[in-house]
Amino acid sequence: MELYLSAKGTVQFLVKVVIFLAIASVLVNLYYFYLPNFPLRNLLKNLFDLDSETNIPSVYAAGAILFCSILMAIIAQAQKLAGNSNFRSWLGFSLVFAYLSMDEFMSLHENVVVPMRKAFHTGGLLYFPWVILGSIFLVIFLIVFGKFIASLPAKTRRLFFIAGIIYVVGALGFEMLGGLYASHYGETNIIYVLMTTIEEVLEMLGIIAFIYALLTYMSAHMKGVDVGIHIIDSKKQHLSS
């Protein structure tokens, strides 16, 4: 079996998924806050709330980031076979995104919020103090991979920049704005839900833009990638030998 991925088609499909998840999240939260007798309201909120972990949106988000990691691992292998030394940078990129995928699904960064808040008495824009660690991680990431990104083709570099801006505005920018709001008005209200919805949607759109960047890079510079899956009957193979 051969698998062919169109950058445009993939992006269109993923955007539709994100729109569905965003609408579903807003609806289940409206039911939760304003229709207390709505059937299965707690179950639906747990399943579709964008700001919750280990549910349908988090599985999608983690899967999309993992897809980025897989694409970069494929690029790294292709570059290695071609004798290009930058395969190490692609592989490093892939490993970073593999960790981000795990963090997205399990919300590992949320584990430091309460301890850091108590230790440093953070509030306002730093109500969710993990953004401090996130900012440090971003700086280190740019230091380590900045030269590599700058060496990429102009179109790929531009798409990486756009994807990164969208993602960071959501992950750090709106997280800080949401923290400022939550520190004054709490997290159990529809306004906070809408803010976190914007945050999560921006993160998802940033990842989609990054997927588009990777697929267009593969199409332009690797002549596309064919994924072959071969199933062998072990009994027949044994008899033929």
Q: pLDDT, tens digit, for every residue of 112-138?
A: 888 999 898 999 999 999 999 999 999
pLDDT of 111: 84
Angle at 200 between CA 197 and CA 205, to 5 degrees: 120
pLDDT category at 222 given cuts 50, 70, 90 is confident
What separation in angstroms does the CA of 71 have from each of 42, 80, 118, 207?
Answer: 37, 14, 40, 12
Nearest residue to 21 (alpha-carbon basis) of 41, 51, 43: 51
Total length of the chain: 241
Q: What is the average pLDDT across 191-195?
A: 96
DSSP 171-198: IIIIHHHHHHHHHHH-SSSHHHHHHHHH
Q: Which residues contact 30 (CB under 8 A, 6 or more apart)?
A: 190
Nearest residue to 58 (alpha-carbon basis) of 67, 49, 69: 49
Nearest residue to 178 (alpha-carbon basis) of 113, 111, 226: 113
Domain spans, the chain: 2-224
Q: What is the average pLDDT across 182-204?
A: 96
CA–CA gap between residue 172 and residue 187 (Å, rounded): 17
Map residue 231 onto helix, strand or coil.
Answer: coil
Higher-pLDDT residue of 3 and 232 is: 3
Indicate whether this model's pTM tops 0.85. Answer: yes
Is the pLDDT at 164 greater than 50? The verdict is yes
Read off φ and ψ for residue 225, nearest 5 degrees.
-135, 125
Is the pLDDT at 153 greater than 80? The verdict is yes
> Can you point out the beta strands (E) in the chain?
2-3, 227-228
Map residue 178 onto helix, strand or coil.
Answer: helix
pLDDT category at 223 given cuts 50, 70, 90 is low
Higher-pLDDT residue of 236 and 29 is: 29
Is the pLDDT at 169 greater than 60? The verdict is yes
